[in-house]
Amino acid sequence: MELFKKHEQTLQKAIEANHHRGFFAQFPEHPSPAVYGETADADGLNAFESRLNQAYKGLEHSKATGWAGAEESPYSRQALGVTYPVFSLETLIDEAGAAGKIWKKVSTADRAALLVESLERVSKRFFEVAYATMHTTGQGYMMAFQASGPHAADRALEAIAEGYEQLSSVPQQVLWNKPAGKINLQMNKYWRAVPKGINLVIGCSTFPTWNSVPGIYAGLITGNPVIVKPHPMAILPIAIFVEELQQTFKAAGLPSNIVQLAIDTPQQLISKQLAEHKSVKIIDFTGNAVFGNYLEGIAGKTVFTEKTGVNSIILDSTEDLDKALGNLAFSVSLYSGQMCTAPQNIYIPAAGVGTPGGTVPFDEVVNRFAAAVKGLYENPKAGPFVLGAIQSEATHQRIQATAAAGAKVILPSVGIVNPQFPQARTASPLILELSSSEKQMYSAECFGPIVFIVKTKDTNESIRLASELAEQHGALSCGAYTTNPETKEAIIEAMTDAGTTLSFNLLGGVYVNQNAAFSDFHGTGGNPAANASFTNSEFISKRFTWVGYREPAA
């Protein structure tokens, strides 16, 4: 309970922030020496480098059957050489089961305090997490720091806070006192939040901590033991979170294996075996739609997915076309379009885009957009750092294949020279132009730096296509530019019905890709892109059941 006192105020602030949804952040997002210490960056780099070509011994490994790991840096194109303990399926399940029996008896307050404590411990290693993220995902330094460190920790805290609040929302005990004629019927009633069972969290290759920690912390706060199965090419960042969780549990006299890291080797993929195991009751997944749909279809599991989607921009009219196009150029370039919220389809009416100086013709809009993108990636002080590297060879090949598919190429994808990492796998955004009738080209997700300009009859067609694709194929974001209140209302109607988060008229330092903890829901659960939402009430409540017991009052 001492730990609870230490973190109570943080928890209360987080609960309030969840309700208010204005700005709140517990962990500073800037990798500033003033905040994190003069040597924090260098120390983090050193810690990262000293892990290379080593077995990762900080993780619980007493029952390991071997060590494996095959990560490779998209920047250096070299193997990281880090190996992680490998466990048998039986060991993972048995350890989770045994640890879960103890964890479920820990009070909500103590669970919350331990989980916040683990985040504070991780925060001391944010720079190490950042370098680990860069060299697995290809993210630029700033994004790697922010997304995998403070932003991920904030989303974890958001889940802890929502869980703490929900678990406190039903009384532990109450006297039920029912008038019944001359007497009162009196019952003591009690309720327990019963955890569902082992929570499997399957990570992705591009956001190994940001997309996984909400599920990990949601599973833990509700009393479930968690098995973290990272993407085989992006293990190190989340291994650091798991290590700190394990150390936190150990320091409190609890089993380390309340959370376990379960890595895949190419020789032995384990996601399906784990997911189908009868003791695994909850699954969090970020990744492709085929595997996500398979997971959602396993009977008797509670499954939270973030899958693929087709994100849209609707360009109707704007107060400042240059700023709008500059904002969009940044959005499609950031981490080379490898964000699940990055725009793919930009719908522009054939007649052009309205501005205060009159309508700008379609071709001019397209060309000015291409120029803005080119200007960004050709700027040596911005380009390499904003674009980062391409995480996988498959994404790199998809760019080539899409370029060759026959559409009009507005801007070809080229390699970007990264002065620090000459070997980096890089690619600037490919921009293609399509007619609205070529739906087969633009109706599926083309993951990576690929942008389709879709020429539409008018904005009504743009809205129809954006909402139809969101409903049919999913979408996690939609950006819209309009100065017409009626058009705006039509877009709100269509896209909210399609369960798609909307951003209007972004011109400055906020981008359609960004979803802030304690404010923006990430995913809505309202279209095929995701059946879950960070962090709505269901993201917590589906992980446990309220069970009551009662007895006549003495």
Residues that bind a copy of itself (CB under 8 A): 19-23, 166, 169-171, 174-180, 185, 187, 189, 191-192, 194, 196, 297, 299, 492, 495-497, 499-510, 516, 519-521, 524-526, 533, 536-538, 541-542, 545-552
**Smaller CB separation from a copy of itself, 46 or 355:** 355
Residue 408 half-sphere exposure, CB side, CA atoms within 13 Å?
A: 11
Q: How far is the CB of 277 from a copy of itself (least distance, A)?
A: 16
Q: How far is the CB of 490 from a copy of itself (least distance, A)?
A: 13
Exposure letters 238-270 (e unless 16+ CB within 10 A, then b): bbbbbbbbbbbbeeeebbbbbbbbbbbeeeeeb
User: Is 549 exposed, middle or buried (CB count within 10 Å of its CB: 0-12, 13-18, 19+)?
Assistant: exposed
**Smaller CB separation from a copy of itself, 21 or 77:** 21
**Smaller CB separation from a copy of itself, 385 or 504:** 504
**Smaller CB separation from a copy of itself, 245 or 329:** 329
**Smaller CB separation from a copy of itself, 300 or 357:** 300
The counts of H helices and E strands in the chain are 20, 19
User: How far, in Å, CA of 433 to CA of 453, rounded?
Assistant: 5
Q: Is the Cα dihedral 433, 436, 438, 442 positive or negative?
A: positive
Q: How far is the CB of 515 from a copy of itself (least distance, A)?
A: 9
Token pair for 537? 């009430």
**Smaller CB separation from a copy of itself, 77 or 550:** 550
Q: How far is the CB of 325 from a copy of itself (least distance, A)?
A: 16
Q: How far is the CB of 525 from a copy of itself (least distance, A)?
A: 5
Q: How far is the CB of 14 from a copy of itself (least distance, A)?
A: 16
Q: Are strands 198-202 and 226-229 parallel, antiparallel or unpaired?
A: parallel
User: Is 61 exposed, middle or buried (CB count within 10 Å of its CB: 0-12, 13-18, 19+)?
Assistant: middle
CA-based nearest residue to 316, from 443, 217, 457: 457
Residues 397/400/404/406 CA torsion (nearest 10 deg): 100
**Smaller CB separation from a copy of itself, 361 or 508:** 508
User: How many CB atoms are closer than 10 A to CB 34?
Assistant: 8
Q: How far is the CB of 548 from a copy of itself (least distance, A)?
A: 5
Token pair for 151? 């932003």
Tracing tokens 């001019």 back to the chain, one arrives at: 364
**Smaller CB separation from a copy of itself, 185 or 251:** 185
Q: How far is the CB of 95 from a copy of itself (least distance, A)?
A: 19
